[in-house]
Structure 1
Amino acid sequence: MAQQLINQYHFLAKWGGKREDFLEISGLDISIDIIPMREGNSKVDSPIKIPGLKTFPEIIFKRNINLGDNDFYDWITTRNFGTVERRTIEIFLLDENLLPVITWRALNCFPSKYYGPVLISNDSQIATETLYIAHDGFTVEHSRKK
């Protein structure tokens, strides 16, 4: 069976805001803690490794700032004394026809950091904002091509 490679530059995310366009999304990673263990009667002088808990870093969303769109900031300011609005976020990798081929579904998401633009007087870059999202894990689903 021939491999079908997918470009990484067609994507969008449904996160509860109006806009789904982003410059960059990163942090779709999983790590498993390694627990070294050695019993007292072991004849080996080094520990064995056993798997521990899964950990998930924050997912990072970066986008251009559009006038009148304050959704990132509004979401992070919903936090109130230990409570925050949690959402399910779906990230779609799209094929050449802009149809989803892989979906990452992150669960119980909430914003943990917001970075506004870096303002530089002699730079002609477009202003961007970045939102870090904490979550309880994600699933990955591949679409089946017919």
Structure 2
Amino acid sequence: MGDYPIPKFHFQVEWGAAGNTDEPDLRFTEVSGLDKEIEMIEYRDGYNPEYSKVKMPGMVKYSNVTLKRGMFIGLDSFEAWYNTIVMNKVDRRTVTIKLLNEEHQPVVTWQLNNAWPVKLQSTDLKGDGNEVAIQTLEIAHEGCVIEYL
């Protein structure tokens, strides 16, 4: 056990198709949306003498996850994955996000099951800026398994 919180800037994302060795090891600049929530159900029993609703846990709801990375010439893997979506045919993948320690070993992993792209956003353009071009991919998924190692 460490005496300090884990820094959040050292992470790795594995999102390529199974067996795809053409995908270079790119670093992402940001991952957001790693949350889940239990929906609340309010129920009022007509026989209950109290005039308030009972609150009960409902289904688990997952947010979409957003991945951001720098744009590279000739690298269009976000676009290629996005373009696989055609009339109910979706290339669903397992996406694994790993928070790493100083020795590059995972300390927390988030596994997103049956993930697929829902939004692809190119960089904004600015004539007086000097920032790196950032590409954004938003993915939906059907479940998140969090493991603390």
**1:83-104 C-alpha deviation (Å, 9 max, x unpaired):** 1100001100000111111111
- Name the SS for the 2:124 alignment partner: coil
Residue 82 of structure 1 pairs with residue 88 of structure 2: yes
Aligned 8 A contact 1:18 1:71 in 2: no
* Distance in structure 1 (CA, Å) of the matches to 2:117 and 2:49: 49
| C-alpha distance 78-70 of structure 1, shift in aligned 2 (>3 A) | same
| C-alpha distance 25-2 of structure 1, shift in aligned 2 (>3 A) | closer
Equivalent positions of 1:1-146 (< 5 A) are: 3=3, 5-16=5-16, 17-143=23-149
The 4+ residue runs of structure 1 with deviation greater than 6 A are none
Give TM-score scaled by structure 2 length: 0.91
| C-alpha distance 4-124 of structure 1, shift in aligned 2 (>3 A) | closer
Name the aligned partner's letter for residue 60 of structure 2: K
* Distance in structure 1 (CA, Å) of the matches to 2:133 and 2:89: 30
Number of residue equivalences: 143
| C-alpha distance 86-122 of structure 1, shift in aligned 2 (>3 A) | same
Unaligned runs of 5+ in 1: none
- Name the SS for the 2:81 alignment partner: helix
Give TM-score scaled by structure 1 length: 0.93
How many Å apart are 1:4 and its aligned residue?
Answer: 5.1
Name the aligned partner's letter for residue 49 of structure 1: K
Unaligned runs of 5+ in 2: 17-22
